[in-house]
Amino acid sequence: MSDVAEDRNVNRTSTGISDVVLGYVMQYIHDPKDRDAVSLVCRKWYELEARTRKHVTIALCYSTSPDRLRRRFGNLESLKLKGKPRAAMFNLIPEDWGGYATPWVREIAESFNFLDSLQFRRMIVKDSDLELLTRSRGRVLLTLKLDKCSGFTTDGLLHIGRSCRNLKTLFLEESSIIEKDGEWLHELALNNTVLETLNFYLTELVQVKFEDLELIARNCSSLVSVKISDQEILDLLGFFRTATALEEFCGGSFNEQPEKYTVVSLPPKLCRLGLTYMGKTEMPIVFPFASQLKKLDLLYALLDAEDHSMLIQRCPNLEVLETRNVIGDRGLEVLAQSCKRLKRLRIERGADEQEMEDEEGLVSQRGLIALAQGCLELEYLAVYVSDITNASLEHIGSYSKNLCDFRLVLLDREERITDLPLDNGVRALLRGCEKLRRFALYVRPGGLSDVGLSYIGQYSQNVRWMFLGSVGESDAGLLEFSRGCPSLQKLEMRSCCFSERALAAAVMQLTSLRYLWVQGYRASTTGRHLLAMARPFWNIELIPARRVTLDQHEGGRRS
């Protein structure tokens, strides 16, 4: 009996749980925060969690090193790595700032034998990186995402096409790629039979041949998502006929006379769609299957407010809509009436830029109130507005109980705004939307007082990421704000009135903060007051002022 009792105590942790049992339990713990909590229990749990971790996201590539990642998580199957700060998307970070993928690719090639999924975001990736990656991991790589990356050419993509025969996802959206030819897609079409997702949307890759797209559709029976650059829609008729499993398509262009597009027939299972440069005359090709659409991307469609209304009312099952503020309040009212399942809405700036603005083509409190009352399942809302009231934000707080991500930018088009400051509205929204995890507010001077800023701190209990622009009146408001936000990990601010000394003090009070990016504050000539927040584990960088061309606002942009 004593031997049996002794065996039962073998390989038990300090908590009394055997390694075997704990190993089984670990398989069902996926949330990174839960994983982090497990690793802090004791050394044994730390080591077991490290051995069983399958996925890691590194929010800033300079926050750790490839060697440290290998030593702790040697059995990774999936890695997501972010390089340049989000501000790089708006020309606020120098192109040569950094974010090079090379050291990470070298470590992956040498050490990560189980890795089959890799994503680089806003990083500089070289052709040689892609060559090394495909030579070392090409046979097992299932997912490769180069999201908003730069530094490579179609020669690098050629290595992917030739070597990654088991690749199921190739994602290149919004990457800056130097195009030499379209041979990379031809090689992909010849060598791959398992591709499920192909995305080179919003790139300059225009030398691809529609015959290669047809070949991919013919060879890859599981192809469900294709997002391309500006290829003529009429050249894709064979592709649409062949891609019978396709559920998502974005891209294309309309360069011929409208009557020619009556022959276009889209795949029968299509439920996510975005047709670039689609106008009113081409819109009828969507009507036959509009009722089955769950996602609609109209960001680059040439539609006015009336066209939006005509199309949206035919899409009762819509869950995701991306468009520009030309949709107007009338379009949002139709959306609220017709699309009760809507979960995500993104409204970018664009009406004024394309000279399509009119009284019906701008978004204000009227549209937001209708949206809040009509779309009760809304989880994500990013919107550029021309006018706003506290009451509209209060409505969102009252009705949008599932909202997890809210972003609002107040444009400077109108000289007078109906109801400022937005203190009470912001308070009501934050108090009402208890699931909120991401929050962005870009207004104008006077749009949010110090009191309103203190409300953000007080009522943002669960918010982890925040972007604030032109908020507050003084350092006192920032300091009051920083006494709250217990969960805030990333904070970005633009065009604010705060001093260096106040910024440093706020950082020290935000106990969960891991990342701060500020542009437009009251800087000293030397930056000496920022030294108050210097710590051994903090990286502090001052980027010298330079002359750039940029959008004034960006709170609602894709992140």
Tell me, what CATH number does 152's domain have?
Answer: 3.80.10.10
Query: What value does the mean pLDDT take over residues 325-348?
Result: 97
Average pLDDT value for residue range 249-267 = 94
- Contacts by 283-292 with C-beta closer than 8 Å and gap 24+? 283/307, 283/310, 283/311, 285/261, 286/311, 287/314, 290/314, 290/315, 291/315, 291/316, 291/317, 292/317
| Domain shared by 200 and 283, yes or no | no
Amino acid letter for position 214: E
Positive or negative: CA dihedral 548, 388, 423, 491 = negative
pLDDT at 10 over 60: no
Residue range 49-61: mean pLDDT, rounded: 90
Within 8 A by CB and 6+ apart from 43, the residues are none
The domain boundary, picked from 229, 262, 287, lies at: 229
Say what the pLDDT of residue 546 is.
59
pLDDT for the residue numbered 11: 44
- Which band of pLDDT confidence, cut at 50, 70 and 90, is reported for residue 292? very high
Pair (108, 180) in one structural domain: yes
Residues 156, 280, single domain; the answer is no
Q: What is the rounded average pLDDT of the residues 186-199?
A: 98
Chain mean pLDDT for the chain: 90
Q: Is residue 130 domain-shared with residue 192, that is, in the same domain? A: yes
- Burial bucket for residue 455 (CB in 10 Å: 0-12, 13-18, 19+): buried
Q: How far are the Cα atoms of 68, 96, 119, 142 from residue 154, in angstroms, in the given order? A: 32, 21, 18, 20
Task: Check if the beta carbon of residue 191 is closer than 8 Å to that of residue 219.
Answer: no
Token pair recorded at residue 310: 């005509």
Give the type of residue at 509.
Q
In a domain, 539, yes or no: no
- Distance, in Å, from the CA atom of 330 to the CA atom of 443, rounded to the nearest integer, reads 23
Among the residue ranges 318-327, 410-419, 459-468, 477-486, the one predicted with the least confidence is 410-419
Q: Is the pLDDT of residue 338 over 80?
A: yes
Residues 457 and 314 in one domain: no
The pLDDT score that the predictor gives to residue 545 is 64
Whether residue 95 sits in one domain with residue 32: no
Question: Do 163 and 84 reside in the same domain of the chain?
Answer: yes
Query: pLDDT tens across 205-249, in order?
Result: 999 999 999 999 999 999 999 999 999 999 999 999 999 999 999
Which has the closest alpha carbon to 65: 100, 31, 116, 32? 100
pLDDT band at 360 (very low <50, low <70, confident <90, very high): low
pLDDT of residue 544: 65
Residue 260, domain member (yes or no): no
**pLDDT, average across residues 509-533:** 84
Q: Is the model's pLDDT at 51 over the cut of 90?
A: no
Residue 544 forms part of a structural domain: no
Percent of the chain with pLDDT over 70: 92
519's tokens: 């542009």
The answer to whether residue 121 sits within a structural domain is yes
Give the residue with greater pLDDT, 186 vs 418. Answer: 186
With respect to residue 438, please indicate whether it lies within any of the assigned structural domains. no
Q: Are residues 343 and 292 in the same domain?
A: yes
> 374 with 458, same domain?
no
- Confirm if 282 and 254 have CB atoms less than 8 A apart: yes
Q: Write down the pTM of the prediction.
A: 0.90
pLDDT at 84: 92
State residue 15's pLDDT score: 52
Is the pLDDT at 556 greater than 60? The verdict is: no
Classify strands 55-58 and 78-82 as parallel, antiparallel or unpaired: parallel
% of the chain at pLDDT higher than 90:
74
More confident residue, 93 or 556: 93
Per-residue pLDDT reduced to its tens digit, 431-467:
999 999 999 999 999 999 999 999 999 999 999 999 9
Count of structural domains within the chain: 4
Q: Are residues 119 and 185 in the same domain?
A: yes
What pLDDT score does 559 carry?
40
End-to-end CA, the chain? 62
Are 553 and 382 in contact, with CB atoms under 8 Å apart? no
Domain edge (last residue) among 229, 251, 285: 229
**DSSP per-residue string spanning 244-313:** TT--EEEE-B--S-GGGGGG----TT--EEEETT-BTTTGGGTGGGGGG-SEEE-TT-B--HHHHHHHHT
Cis peptide before 421 (omega within 30 of 0): yes
One domain, residues 356 and 304: yes
Q: Is residue 503 part of a domain?
A: yes
Strand partners, 273: 249, 296
Say what the pLDDT of residue 519 is. 85
Note whether residue 245 is domain-resident. Answer: no
End position of a domain, from candidates 377, 396, 419: 419
Q: Are residues 324 and 372 in the same domain?
A: yes
**Residue whose token pair is 């699931």:** 435
Q: Which domain holds residue 196?
A: 62-229
State yes or no: pLDDT of 27 exceeds 90.
Answer: no
Residue 194 has pLDDT above 60, yes or no: yes
In a domain, 538, yes or no: no
